[in-house]
Chain A
Amino acid sequence: MGVVVKTAGICTTIQDLGRIGYQGSGFSPSGVMDHRACTLANLLVENDPNTCVIEFALIGPTLRFTTNTIIAITGGDFSPLLGGKPVPMYKAIMVHRGSVLSFGAPRTGCYGYISIGGGGLDVPVVMGSCSTNLRCSVGGWHGRKLNVGDYLPFKTPNLDFLANLPSHVIAPDDIYGFGQEQVTLRVVPGPQDDAFTQVGLDTFYGSAFTITNQCDRMGFRIDGPEIETKNGSDIISDGIAFGAVQVPSKGRIIIMLADRQTTGGYAKIGTIASVDIPKLVQRKPGDRIVFQQVSVQEAQDLLRQQARYYSSVAKAVKRLCSGGTSPRRTARRLTPILERQARIAKDEVLWINTEDRDRDRSVPQRKGQ
């Protein structure tokens, strides 16, 4: 009971929010490129934000569902189609057994995400995470990109119920600045901003840069004017954070991302504010970006704001009525579903609560005779 991969795209992997705790051993954290899209996709289907999702880059996969479930699609817009008909993004949608999810023309962004209700995909947890680490061939689906014919089982074998599905929707995310000629990314200076001259720093914060086509899960290379250093850019290797902006003495700036190496020997002029990394990873080759300096305290305030937004989404999707649906009407709609479930279940245990995935399929409810 899961999903069969009919076409795979070019870099479709299973990821969660990353493998935490092994960077000190040289192990890249992996995880989704766009944490925001992953978090929202999961919240929309009432999953924990760290539940594994399907991430795809530039070309969406084609997936055939072998069981009923509920999914949400977020991130870049690749014209999602269910059974050949357009379906909305940023909304929990019911998918029936046998139906096919595919993607049409890419409209905006680079990375798309598919979350699956009821706790996502049933893949092994390796070193605390389901994320695929392609370089080490571990995690996700056999440590590799998805291929045609792969069959990915779901955590919850059949899920066709979320209380009041229509309220599981949010406005399409407007943080990305799709369609704008140029977007601003906020940068926290350091740890080696003192390796650059004032002229170099002014160039960095005062010029427009262009995304190149040398961009992948490891890092984004960007083109722009040369950044002047005091004595070259070589440093004694130190740790690399998500979004670190490495500036080699000559050549292209590299912004280090999910599959980055854990240590490196180029000076880092700054680190992209965490809330702006989604905006960066959704930029296409040729897009223009500018950098704006913020303090670490400001960047952390932005993260706290984002966390409040996530909590409000988590609450809003569970609202029992939305869009004019009264509790009475909701109850009327639920009754036949529950009755049908009860008929199917016969004397079996009937599962209805999908909120608490840790309590193994949750509250059993015996069919009353």
Chain B
Amino acid sequence: MADFRITVAGDSALNLEFGQIISAKTSTLIRQAALCLTEDGIEGVTELIPTFCSLMVQYDPLVIGFDELCEALQGKLRNIGATESSVRHIVLIPTCYGGEYGPDMPTVVAHSGLTEQEVIAIHSGHDYLIDMLGFLPGFAYLGGLDPRLHTPRLATPRTLLEAGSVGIGGAQTGVYPLPSPGGWQIIGRTPIKPYDPDRAKPILYAAGEYLRFVPITPAQYKAIERQVAQGTYEYQSITQEG
């Protein structure tokens, strides 16, 4: 039995609030709700924006009014539970760590007291749950960075980071889908495009899915970069039980 509160976000949107603090349970409920509303939609609902504690539902009030929509949502979401689905969808992000692609690797190494190999092994050895996307198209807020890798942001943010930069900002890690200013410690870069408006699926992953960074060599980076440019690269993902 899911417990949520509905708040009003104007005449064309509302929020389903599943909790007040960021937690695994809240996160699961939001993903379940989003999945439920995607698979079995309500007519008039136009957009879903999952965030840490709430799910924004945007709708066309000319198709469905506020009161009617609340009722439909209560009915539809009555039976979602906090049981995590046993199936994990993991999107693989080939990443070249350190060197010219990861200018801040020495900072992370110094701050953590680990070797570069250890940093890479720890960072690529975990599947990160995507809590939400925001800030930039395809910018994923990831949960679960190993505390040993937590590193403060740069004192002065860089004015331009390359698309594909993989970084650590405090307790968070992630990948920049587009060239952007940014203050994260950049430890590597991926040659793939998390976001490509010309692709059938413009954004490679969604909230509720997992990202796994896979270490590659500079030579592999160049090869994949070429394939991406030619449109022949096959994006890799894994579906895992339990």
Contacts and interface: CB of A to CB of B under 8 A. Distances in A.
Given A26-B133, A263-B49, A268 B9 contact: yes
Contact of B10 (A21, A23, A244): A244
A273 to B, nearest CB: 6
Contacts of B197: 126-127, 136, 138-139
Interface in B116-142: 132-139
23 contacts: A23-B58, A24-B50, A24-B206, A26-B133, A26-B136, A136-B197, A190-B9, A191-B7, A191-B9, A191-B17, A236-B51, A237-B134, A238-B56, A239-B15, A239-B49, A239-B54, A239-B55, A243-B10, A263-B51, A273-B11, A296-B10, A299-B10, A303-B12
A360 to B, nearest CB: 24
A25 interface: yes
B12 A242 contact: yes
Contacts of A273: 10-11
B157 interface: no
B52 interface: yes
B22 A236 contact: yes
Contacts, number: 142
A299 B8 CA distance: 12
Contacts of A299: 10-11
Closest 5 CB pairs of A and B: A239-B56, A271-B10, A263-B134, A239-B49, A299-B11
B46 interface: yes
A307 interface: yes
A300 B48 contact: no
Interface string A239-276: 10111100000000000000001110000101111100
Interface residues of B, number: 46
Interface in B5-24: 7-15, 17, 21-22
Instruction: Classify chain A: how many residues form its interface, as a range.
Output: 35 or more
A307 B134 CA distance: 32
B13 A271 contact: yes
Interface in A289-307: 296-297, 299-300, 302-304, 307
Contacts of A296: 8, 10-11, 66
